[in-house]
Amino acid sequence: MNLRKLLLFVLLLCSGAGYSQMTTLYDSYVNEGEFGVAVGAAHYFGDLNTRAALNRPKFSGGIYFIKQFNNYIGVELSGDYAFLGYSDIYSKNETQRRRNLSFNSNVWEVSLSGYFNFFRYIPGVRGYKFTPYLSLGAGVFSYDPYAYLNGTKYYLRPLGTEGQNVDTAKKQYGDMAVCFPLTLGFKYSINENMNVFAEIGYRFTTTDYLDDVSTTYAGPDAFVLTHSDGTQEAQYPAYYLQDRSYETGTPIGIKGRQRGNSSQKDAYVMFHVGVSFNFTSYKCPTAKAIDPSSLK
């Protein structure tokens, strides 16, 4: 009986020592951060896509760098590109289909976010190779909506399609705005150096002109030039791009009639998959000093 107790005590002692060594090993691992690249799809939500449909995704991609402060918390600097666009012809709403507006835009974004791993993440170590993560931050992005008329591409902002060039009460919108990215994803370490991940990120924005649509029609007269001899001429292409309902029937772009919904800002979402590469280091465990008096 005493021999069995002794063997049990030795086994427990060894297992405790092994656990202590493993804990020391994990604590000595330092995840400095990671660099990643991703590709995927983006989608726009706004005055042309009021029902948040996901039926016209377009290409997006990005790069990022994460600086980890520990295995859970970090800060992320990212640069993303999204090609966005939509058309009223995809709407189930008859009024929107009659409106017949459309746009495309290249969006370039830079953002800084706080980054949080839900689980302790140690790449390459069994039991710590997977974690969901969440990031939230702020950024800036550029955009410049355009549309096609008779096969020719025209940028919409300079045209003042809602009367910005003739009505002093309507301020011309800029080509940059602020966004607030909220991203949820998960990642898995293939080995100590490399991870794979998938994420979805929603962008709240401070602009309602991502699609060049926000307030009311300026009316066709705002896009007609009157010459000195009294003759009038429609400004091309602004006259034909500010109200395209003539392509679906009788024009509806009467001055003051609602063209968009200015009470709600536009937004976009990006779904990405990618790979990232870890920056790691190791710290040596601090040895405990031995008291010389204990050796006497």
DSSP 3-state assignment of 290?
coil
Phi, psi of 41 (to 5 degrees): -135, 150
Instruction: Provide mean pLDDT across the span 39-47.
Output: 98
Confidence of residue 14 (pLDDT cuts 50, 70, 90): very low
What is the model's pLDDT at position 125?
87
Closest listed residue to residue 222, CA positions, set 179, 263, 168: 168
At residue 86, does pLDDT exceed 80? yes
Is the pLDDT at 289 greater than 60? The verdict is: no
- Residue 142 one-letter amino acid: S
Q: Residues 88, 272, 114, CA angle at the centre, nearest 5°?
A: 110
Taking the C-alpha atoms of residue 62 and residue 66, their distance in angstroms, rounded to an integer, is: 13
pLDDT of residue 27: 57
How far apart are alpha carbons 203 and 180 in whole angstroms?
5
Write out the H or E segment, with its range, that includes residue 153: strand 152-155
In the chain, count H helices and then E strands: 3, 12
* pLDDT for the residue numbered 283: 62
**pTM score:** 0.85
pLDDT at residue 8 is higher than 60:
no
pLDDT for residue 93 is more than 50: yes
The confidence score (pLDDT) of residue 169 equals 87
Q: What is the mean pLDDT of the chain?
A: 89
Q: Is the pLDDT of residue 6 over 70?
A: no
Taking only Cα atoms into account, the Rg of the chain, rounded to an integer number of angstroms, comes to 29
Statement: residue 294 has pLDDT above 60: no
pLDDT of residue 165: 95
CA distance 110 to 202: 14
Q: Domain spanning 32-285 has what CATH number?
A: 2.40.160.20
**pLDDT at position 16:** 46
Structure tokens at 246: 């003539």
Two tokens, residue 73: 């918390």
Cα–Cα distance, 22 to 17 (Å, whole number): 9
